[in-house]
Structure 1
């Protein structure tokens, strides 16, 4: 059977359907010798055909059973439709396709009586000429809709372009509020002698719709009224796919649901409204986790947390964290942290969350000791998937000890912040940028002076290549304590440099303000710079080279009068499902002598 000119001849001066859909399915793994002929392997279409075939490029492992001849035959017969679709999608409407199984045309073999054995399969492709559009129209189109460039006279007559054009036209109307826009008619004529295709597409926008009521389809432990509040679907307003997407994301980011789907009704409701139903699957109520990180000579850090995702039935969350760090470390003593964070989504409006935080922390560092209690309440405004703003009111009381002596203070704080996260992957970023800005005015109730502590963390990433991708990563950090003199500033608000997070290769918090006589305190200004080159050596392993530099000054803002140090090193990364495992070795390259020759850092995720 010659599928191609014989079968495709019926296209001549005949109308054919626009949308050719075929299931991609899972590839059948074959042991027979399969060859694709009639097209050079240098042709881009060779790879496209190979990728679309159930026969080509398949292999089996030793553990897997070899496929039967019936399975091989079924794959060969399914390839007719799949590979013809590839030819049509690339403008070859008069090509020829032959698939032979041990010399016999696959289409002529009965699937109920397959050969006992199949040794060789040949797929022979004759492309023929490319067809061009001699007419390309779609009407009506919503104002502002940008149609694909390929849908034009003289361009390759690709079914992919036709499908994309129809999809773009329908989505243009949906974006304008016409949720039930559809393809009303399609006139396609393929003229084989002229090697052209004429395409006339007509859309039916339907009526302009408004959002109808949102109903909850599945039972949930989250109260229905809270689901509606969190989703924030604007009932009565003009339909918008973007609003539907936002409502879905609001429900998803609560963490209370494993699966979220907002489904449009099949029928239009009263007064041109579109009812929406929510299909939700609750997440497990509780979650428990732990982690570990080791650095030399910082020691071992252990973290643990417990999470309740639906505390009061309104998707409120309560997370309790505990951390012990500096275990068996050579720098300072052991640090402790215990915190509880409560969050209530959709407070005041659907994109504003309320939070309350209580924490107790002890920091036993080389240059200072601090034990503090923090109470903070505030709101978090989620402006988009990438932009978040924070505003809070807090009370902080602490006992500190440093080179200036012991101190007890109580502060009223106003923590504010903004986060811009445009990274493609939080744990292993390839491209994008990230900025975290924190500004915290504080009013001293006792033991300190009024002031402002600010900190900026900015990161940028760019990746080149695919097979052995090279990623360049840059990070800049700026810190400042404005207001109190160095001697009366809260000791745990001051800045130090050195170790993971600032300058690898240097001991943890080894750089501060030198008071003489071996006494060091933190600085009121900090600048940190980091650069990494990440090379993907294999699918699982990567190699990293890095350079870090840090600056600490006594002044409120950087003026160059302080002290700098730097470090450099190499690391390896091993890819896992939860992010790359990181192993870095850094050495000091400049700065005050510390007596340490190298530092080791182990963790999960990239360094930044």
Structure 2
């Protein structure tokens, strides 16, 4: 026999239907009943309650509040809108567990007031003189907040409400109970109870139950005990491993590359998060415009030869559906700064040359289009070949041949280069690379022409925990640093061995951590660079291998190669065997996708191999940013503080992305 108190059985989703604003009750009266020639302006005010979430919920649920700025309404339409708000507002209370509370709407005009549910409301509003504004005051009495009572689970895909009510045992394991995040005695907040099925289902699928299901809650409202019990139908289904993989939609990409690239394998425990990570990884290759993965229609039997973990009841096949992206891309290369002048060129890219993600990039770029550090037109022509997963997953092979000509004030260079190397990520944030580089060049410096043949082995270690989604996205936190050494030998002219070493570090601090800005809006960025060349003096090192400073990479305000030892009393740079530089930059985002930057740079180049020797130069300036979906467009103006010669009065830099 049931207890003598009132029990109301209903789905929680129905209980809060008024809160989410989907109820159609109390909609405005048909226009045929309203005086089309008379409209009323009104204002809605909500009296705060003791529960701020209820107050916010009422504001979101109220059609009076949401529609008051649209246009004036007829008296009868406004009356219908007011009546309809009662159920919506009660939904906001119930969603937070206040089932015995009530709401009130008071309508005030011409020194008079009526309750919103008064039968005379429509005629009262219709009698108002034109031009009067009505005030609608919404208030609520919360009453006692109901608590969560019993949460019970019945095994099976479905059943009747009575079968849920008659359940006597909780059918969850300890692990399953731990993911509910709702306990007996908690406030009966509808959103938390409604979230239980998705939380539990996610947990079950991560345990290998691919076909698990959890029903929507059936709620039992106990008005005497002021609690809500909730019951669920639970079906775990078989525990499975991954079965066979089917690849659909491949046209130019080789299937063996996909199988080798996959981070999952047959016989592995079925886990949606792991499968999603594999799907995302395939999408990150850049070969596909879409990668989707779906479970097979039925569970397969597990081969007897497989040695599986206990409790496995089958294998779930996976179907991968691919839509390949465009294989070819042509892009323009355009840039300008007052020191290096303009550059313009075109790049052609093949994304999948041999069917396994190989990239071939061909570029032809004209350089030296004006500029205070240039003496004429130059070019940069190269072919770049990248092969992913070279001999090992995530290892990249890079081959490059390049023809280069640049007519700088410091030297004129015409060179052929060949480069081959591999790079490999180590963990999440580390990256190492090594290469062999050969360069044949002719350099004219201060009227003297020399030929060099240089062989070098660049070795580099990178760390980056800023976790940007693309290389030109501005960093707002974390560190980035690079350490490199390049054992080199110069032949053909004055054979010499030298060892360039360099390091650069950058860090970013978001002022949001101090509570004075929104996340990512105000950022202080710091950068430091240091370099040293061991084993040879300045004049025994090819000019293009020496250290220079000036420009956006070191000291803005000074032209490219404008900081360091000069040739006599001219503005021609000699270069040096040591370098150190530092930057502090403040970045502030503004409304409408704009931003501003202020910065100061300092640096020096010395003839000693020990950094810290040389004439320190300082530059400062500011700029504006316009943020696009692919990154910020940068415009910076910099001034030199202590320029050594006439010229370098100011420098302008245009580009895409931040300087570091």
TM-score by structure 2 length?
0.73
Note if 1:292 corresponds to 2:334: yes
The 5 Å alignment of 1:58-73 reads: none
User: For the residues of structure 2 that align with 1:532 and 1:408, how far apart are their CA atoms?
Assistant: 39
The 5 Å alignment of 1:534-549 reads: 534-549=587-602
Note if 1:301 corresponds to 2:343: yes
What SS does the aligned partner of 2:257 have?
helix
User: For the residues of structure 2 that align with 1:320 and 1:337, how far apart are their CA atoms?
Assistant: 11
Shift of 1:327: 0.8
Deviation string, structure 1 residues 151-193 (Cα, Å, up to 9, x no partner): 3455433233335555444444444444444437856444345
Shift of 1:408: 0.9
**Residues 339, 551 of structure 2: 8 Å contact kept:** no
What SS does the aligned partner of 1:592 have?
coil
User: For the residues of structure 1 that align with 2:393 and 2:90, how far apart are their CA atoms?
Assistant: 49
User: For the residues of structure 1 that align with 2:82 and 2:255, how far apart are their CA atoms?
Assistant: 52
Aligned equivalent of 1:522: 575
The 5 Å alignment of 1:203-282 reads: 206-265=237-296, 267-271=298-302, 272-282=314-324
Shift of 1:296: 2.0
CA change 1:278–1:97 in 2 (3 A) is farther
Note if 1:322 corresponds to 2:364: yes
Aligned equivalent of 1:380: 423
Note if 1:577 corresponds to 2:629: yes
**484-493 or 196-205, larger mean C-alpha shift:** 196-205
Aligned equivalent of 1:422: 466
Shift of 1:66: 12
User: For the residues of structure 2 that align with 1:274 and 1:530, how far apart are their CA atoms?
Assistant: 55
Shift of 1:257: 0.8
Note if 1:533 corresponds to 2:533: no
What SS does the aligned partner of 2:625 have?
strand
Deviation string, structure 1 residues 367-410 (Cα, Å, up to 9, x no partner): 12333323223333345665443333333333334468634123
CA change 1:474–1:185 in 2 (3 A) is same
**Residues 524, 584 of structure 2: 8 Å contact kept:** yes
**459-468 or 220-229, larger mean C-alpha shift:** 459-468
Aligned equivalent of 2:497: 450
CA change 1:468–1:434 in 2 (3 A) is closer
User: For the residues of structure 2 that align with 1:452 and 1:60, how far apart are their CA atoms?
Assistant: 71
CA change 1:436–1:469 in 2 (3 A) is closer
User: For the residues of structure 2 that align with 1:548 and 1:17, how far apart are their CA atoms?
Assistant: 61
- Alignment equivalent of 2:48, drawn from 15, 25, 40: 40
User: For the residues of structure 2 that align with 1:372 and 1:14, how far apart are their CA atoms?
Assistant: 83
Note if 1:14 corresponds to 2:61: no
- Alignment equivalent of 2:409, drawn from 342, 366, 380: 366
**Residues 335, 364 of structure 1: 8 Å contact kept:** yes
User: For the residues of structure 2 that align with 1:164 and 1:483, how far apart are their CA atoms?
Assistant: 67
What SS does the aligned partner of 1:14 have?
strand
Q: Gapped runs of 5+ residues in structure 2?
A: 23-27, 29-38, 108-114, 118-132, 153-169, 303-313
The 5 Å alignment of 1:182-193 reads: 182-183=213-214, 188-193=219-224
Note if 1:432 corresponds to 2:477: yes
Deviation string, structure 1 residues 82-105 (Cα, Å, up to 9, x no partner): 87776555444455579999x999
**Residues 490, 542 of structure 2: 8 Å contact kept:** no
Deviation string, structure 1 residues 44-101 (Cα, Å, up to 9, x no partner): 554555557788557999xxx999xxx9999999999987776555444455579999
**560-569 or 296-305, larger mean C-alpha shift:** 296-305
Aligned equivalent of 1:341: 384
Note if 1:511 corresponds to 2:601: no
Give the greater-gyration-radius structure (CA).
Answer: 2
Q: Gapped runs of 5+ residues in structure 1?
A: 1-9, 106-118
CA change 1:363–1:167 in 2 (3 A) is farther
CA change 1:376–1:213 in 2 (3 A) is farther
Shift of 1:511: 0.8
What SS does the aligned partner of 1:237 have?
coil
- Alignment equivalent of 1:413, drawn from 431, 436, 457: 457
What SS does the aligned partner of 2:538 have?
coil
What SS does the aligned partner of 2:278 have?
helix
User: For the residues of structure 1 that align with 2:278 and 2:502, how far apart are their CA atoms?
Assistant: 33
**Residues 376, 392 of structure 1: 8 Å contact kept:** yes
CA change 1:179–1:372 in 2 (3 A) is farther
**494-503 or 127-136, larger mean C-alpha shift:** 127-136
**Residues 91, 157 of structure 1: 8 Å contact kept:** yes
What SS does the aligned partner of 1:547 have?
strand
User: For the residues of structure 2 that align with 1:317 and 1:595, how far apart are their CA atoms?
Assistant: 43
TM-score by structure 1 length?
0.79
Shift of 1:442: 3.1
Aligned equivalent of 2:434: 391
Shift of 1:437: 2.1
User: For the residues of structure 2 that align with 1:293 and 1:76, how far apart are their CA atoms?
Assistant: 61
Shift of 1:286: 1.4
User: For the residues of structure 2 that align with 1:318 and 1:305, how far apart are their CA atoms?
Assistant: 10
The 5 Å alignment of 1:547-558 reads: 547-558=600-611
Shift of 1:510: 0.5
Aligned-residue CA RMSD (Å): 4.5
- Alignment equivalent of 1:475, drawn from 527, 550, 553: 527
CA change 1:98–1:296 in 2 (3 A) is farther
**Residues 423, 434 of structure 1: 8 Å contact kept:** no
Deviation string, structure 1 residues 200-250 (Cα, Å, up to 9, x no partner): 768655544322222113343323222222334322223344432332233
CA change 1:499–1:77 in 2 (3 A) is farther
